[in-house]
């Protein structure tokens, strides 16, 4: 018989938690309180550094350490304004795991993280990038499909599994994007994943401190409501953001047109235009998560939004995934 414990033993051993289920780092959502709650429940919590001031990150990390003795990660955005300071703060705290996101970390940054005692994880989108990261010292990889919420790439998880997961065995590989059931987790583990990462699913837990209206919007939404923002013109680089369609998402498209016109008229520089693009999402996301502005705020969510329709206590949510995964393995075993 197929056993869940056997299939995810590599991820369990690497993360040092009973359930190699990572709560993906979400800006304004994955704070110290939520990260600690996830880790205390047996899964793996992450603190999202995002664009926060370094002194705030210092306080957040200390607070996690006060709330749990379990492993957790600090997620650093390599293109954030305070990125280098964030890395320094995380290293000074000797956090157990550092996850590099946003872009690909350079070898000295990876080494600085490892020298602090941290295990290092990073996102890969191709086999060549995966091998480059491994050569530079990364201890594990995360494959995130475009089905995920927030800032995403353009390739689905199904393609990434074939491009990367099936070809990389040197380090544990965790997968993310569109995951919200134990049944799916079972099949991903059978394909070779060491574990999984979920974001949208964890927003729908009682311990997640988002505004009630934010969660209500998630309950009402369907999978196709989680849209990826288009890039209006090649003149302005836009990293796709998947969020629920609302007036705020429409406003972002109008902002792109406005910024392109200003740049053409030399009213602003390219760098200033790019800053405005990213700054829009920082403010819009906060207003939705913290203030409950579901009309103009950013409702970042993955397509798995169509699979989550209730708010559960964290333990119940994890039990739902674990039981579903083992039941699916039992069903598969019976076929043989």
17-43 pLDDT tens trace: 999 999 999 999 999 999 999 999 999
| Secondary structure letter of residue 69 according to DSSP | S
Q: What is the pLDDT of residue 93?
A: 98
What residues in the chain have per-residue pLDDT under 50? none
What are the residue ranges spanned by the domains of the chain? 4-210+308-335, 222-300
> Exposed (0-12), middle (13-18) or buried (19+): which is 135, by Cβ within 10 Å?
exposed
315 CB neighbour count, 10 Å cutoff = 16
The residues pairing with 123 across neighbouring beta strands, listed in sequence order, are 142
Is 222:48 a contact under the CB 8 Å cutoff? Answer: no
Is 168:127 a contact under the CB 8 Å cutoff? Answer: yes
> 0.85 exceeded by the pTM?
yes
Antiparallel, parallel or unpaired: β 119-123 and 150-151: unpaired
**C-alpha triplet 282, 92, 174: angle, nearest 5°:** 60
Query: What strand order describes the sheet that includes 72-77?
Result: 21-23, 195-198, 173-176, 140-144, 119-123, 97-101, 72-77, 45-48
Q: What is the pLDDT of residue 326?
A: 98
Report d(CA 128, CA 225) in Å as an integer: 33
**Sequence-separated (6 or more) residues with CB below 8 Å from residue 289:** 28, 29, 210, 211, 214, 297
Q: What is the pLDDT of residue 282?
A: 79
Q: What is the pLDDT of residue 281?
A: 82
Q: What is the pLDDT of residue 192?
A: 98
Q: What is the pLDDT of residue 35?
A: 98
Superfamily (CATH H level) for 4-210+308-335: Aldolase class I (3.20.20.70)
Q: What is the pLDDT of residue 290?
A: 94
Is 25:64 a contact under the CB 8 Å cutoff? Answer: no
Q: What is the pLDDT of residue 313?
A: 98
Q: What is the pLDDT of residue 79?
A: 86
Report d(CA 121, CA 114) in Å as an integer: 10
Instruction: List pLDDT tens digits, range 149-182.
Output: 998 988 999 999 999 999 999 999 999 999 999 9
Helices of type H across 98-232: 107-115, 127-135, 157-163, 182-190, 200-203, 212-220
Q: What is the pLDDT of residue 236?
A: 84
173 CB neighbour count, 10 Å cutoff = 26
């Amino acid at each position: 018989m197929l056993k869940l414990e056997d299939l995810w033993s590599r991820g369990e051993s690497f993360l040092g938690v009973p359930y190699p289920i990572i709560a993906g780092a979400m800006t304004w959502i994955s704070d110290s309180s939520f990260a600690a709650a996830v880790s205390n429940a047996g899964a793996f919590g992450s603190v999202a550094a995002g664009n926060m001031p370094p002194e705030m990150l210092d306080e957040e990390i200390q607070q996690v350490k006060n709330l749990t003795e379990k492993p957790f990660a600090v997620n650093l955005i390599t293109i954030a304004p305070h990125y280098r300071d964030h890395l320094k703060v995380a290293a000074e705290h000797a956090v157990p795991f550092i996850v590099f996101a946003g872009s690909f970390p350079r070898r000295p940054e990876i080494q600085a993280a490892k020298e602090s005692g941290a295990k290092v994880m990073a996102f890969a989108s191709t086999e060549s990038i995966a091998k480059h990261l491994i050569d530079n010292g990364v201890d594990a990889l995360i494959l995130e499909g475009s089905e995920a919420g927030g800032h995403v790439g353009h390739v689905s998880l199904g393609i990434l599994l074939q491009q990367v997961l099936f070809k990389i065995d040197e380090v544990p590989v965790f997968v993310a994007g569109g995951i919200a059931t134990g049944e799916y987790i079972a099949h991903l583990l059978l394909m070779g994943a060491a574990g999984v990462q979920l974001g949208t699913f964890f927003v729908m837990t009682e311990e997640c401190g988002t505004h009630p209206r934010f969660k209500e919007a998630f309950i009402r939404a369907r999978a196709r409501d989680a849209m990826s923002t288009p890039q209006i013109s090649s003149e302005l680089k836009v990293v796709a953001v998947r969020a629920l369609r609302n007036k705020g998402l429409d406003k972002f498209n109008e902002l792109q047109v406005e910024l392109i016109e200003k740049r053409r008229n030399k009213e602003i520089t390219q760098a200033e235009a790019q800053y405005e693009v990213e700054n829009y999402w920082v403010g819009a996301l906060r207003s939705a998560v913290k203030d409950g502005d579901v009309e103009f705020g950013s409702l970042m969510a993955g397509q798995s939004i169509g699979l989550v329709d209730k708010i559960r206590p964290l333990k119940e949510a994890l039990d739902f995934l674990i039981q579903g995964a083992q039941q699916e393995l039992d069903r598969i075993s019976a076929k043989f």
